[in-house]
Structure 1
């Protein structure tokens, strides 16, 4: 009895086989690129570890705390990656990353310290003449290929992003029944977490710079913009329509995740504040509602209404796209504020005497009654509070 496959079945088998061969070819190509780039990466890490960290430690050019602030965990990263490279060169990609991922905490330490490292390095180059000469001498070595220390220090952050792409490509081109599939999948998840941390830190740093920039634009020190959890969103000039029939006046507005700052330009003839703004009002967004107002701009630009607990603003722009962008930004910021998770306390938690207060009571001080403490807890809470 014949067991020959039908033409369509045979074509299906060939198609599956061809697909597997394509996967394997791409897997081998990605593997080669990974090994070659890892070799180069380890060489660059070795330059920093040998010609900077070790020699600076031996010479005593920098204090230990300053060295650690600049180079952080880069020596540990170098050692871990040498082990990874040995596995990759032997073709054990899955095993290599399985043993590598538990040491990602060295990368996390490095990532979290990176902005400090840049700041301390800049300070030392500015103030420490001996270190400045040492750095220039080391960078002139032929092994550095004209690279500077500033080019080498960001490499661990860049390498994590590269690992994420390499591992995704390898996982996508590895059959689920391959022994390495689970190892690669786990590595993708672990490396992606660190990559996300890098992006979050970069966004947080950029936001900090924006807050500081706007703070410097405002005259005086009355308005404090640098606050935990506050994010810069946008800024721009809008015309404020007064409640009475006078002419609309241009004002500068700065939108943050929790407040809207209204300011006006200082006098141009002022000797020091000519390019700064005077803060006029700070509006909390948590108690704000925003609406579009139609029929008041003769189809040119637009008008939005902002209602606060004790104030109302009518803001106008002759640019329709600009006012629409402001409307969307305000709606998004207000919506995110109001959708923050509500804090839920059980009643017994609010009535429980804190240890510190109990200790104070034993020392002769009178503790507050439970009802008074509960009111203070509810009043001090920044988010809404539900008592169960």
Structure 2
């Protein structure tokens, strides 16, 4: 019975490919067709394959990728028809657009768009690019009137403005059909039990008589767990969801048609459905409380969940994989969705650069969408409350990791091109004013919460995260554990990839940091010159005739830069001076100048005296300066030409105490009109306001310790706890309402903060709580487990 259903679903996918209803890359389409060939004609035979492809049209553009189809088919030798059909289904279910059916519509401005519905909510596409998602938890009511489809949002989502969104479909019937599909999806995926039929009115009724009839996802979950073993379950469960919730899909095959739901049609002119059914409030996971009110309720819910969920450390390690994968996918969307939309809208990027950028990152994004779905499914099974006797089969993650790490190796060639992508993008932004403007304006959008080119490093950095997480799993497991072998083999696979890409990552992280500084500094050109390495940035006090003045210093492998007094009107710093490292000498000079934590920098150009905020900071600067000076001595290349091409030279007296004029400090004001405003939460700005410094080594360690997950937050003087999705990256905590949000509500830069456990005076009587404090600013965060707390 299961084999028959798999075959029917494979036929549906075959038809979707032929009718261009399944959106995917050429590589994926070729792979799907190759498995269909294996199922239909058996093992590879080039002449037979070509003849079969001539007489059977699997794809509209089949001839263009015929070579890829044959190449993939060659690898399937020995695969049975059943195995081939199963592979077709496994590949299809991981695709972002699998099960998505477009409905042509337009918005209030008349812009042509596509509407679709999925398990998460109502989706809005422009072409094949998703531009918005209205999650079920944010939607209060769906209705339609004639050709107008209306989405009413909860007040906390939209605020006092535009609580109703309106879309225009082609006809009343199309609008009604789409509304009915939305009702069925919402009922199926959001409710625990099927809704009870309403009592019939005695005389007449208003509104729709349409109600979803059938089991919900929760009910099917219990039934399937009881009936199916692991392998057939992993596909069939997913497939039955998709087809049972797509009654609008036309299917000619009579056996497939019999699987579809039949729904009565109403005749009233206006219908509406309230999405908050009685007793079905929004999930606390999807709609956590942001205000202090309700903190106790979240606290009680969290206690109940903690008792119900598994307590094995491996479960929480797997949960970390899931949480960080969700954040990683959102980071990829900054490039693949948001930035792409920005450059297409303004037609700002050359076609060649567009192809280079998106052809390298789109396949990676598509792979990780499928990978995330697998992890989510496995964690859901791990947390399942039924079938305790078979649940153990799901309480592991190594098999999922091993399978996907092997697949990920095929994308190494894409990752190796990221160096070229970053370089070409930087060149283009310097050359094309329009692209530069779009780039800078995009970095100011909420969704771009980090410097834009930081997101291009995420794919390689993610491999490092997999390596560290798998190493923790292997360390936790005993050699006899059933998951140990898969985790160890997955670790070997990812270690092989990271070894090949490690040198490239170091170079890319240095280049990314140099370009970030190039954008945020005024008075310097060509900071990204080949051979230059970033070492440290931070705040020091420079001794002038007016006394100690706060300055920003930037140490590179060939020079030391320092800025004027403070931040300009565009949140940038103006370079005031530079010192080459060749011939430089650094000496501690606290006794000479009677200034705490003071040291003197002697160079061929001038001598300056600076002081750090603490002895520890002074030690860091002196150590890095001495190391950089020694490296410069050993360098065979002279950096004089490099400096002349990089920094605008100033004529100055070679004195230890330098007088700076206000005219010089504000000389960059004339260029402010040409500069877009930069965000003020980069490490440079945080170092300035927190009076500290950060090295490239610190950046590398921070990359290894990126985290995501739900935490409970409490302020020093508040009573309740707030549940927030928290992302820790780039020395900063970013706070979201849920993991599905596209941009953070707020951020907390952590440089200068101290982390500790609460003391008795804090009055925190809870487990797994840590305290963050900077001067009088105090925050408490509560984790769900000992493992998460220690991480």
TM-score after normalising by structure 1: 0.47
TM-score after normalising by structure 2: 0.27
Tell me which protein shows more strand as a share of its residues: 2
Tell me which protein shows more helix as a share of its residues: 1
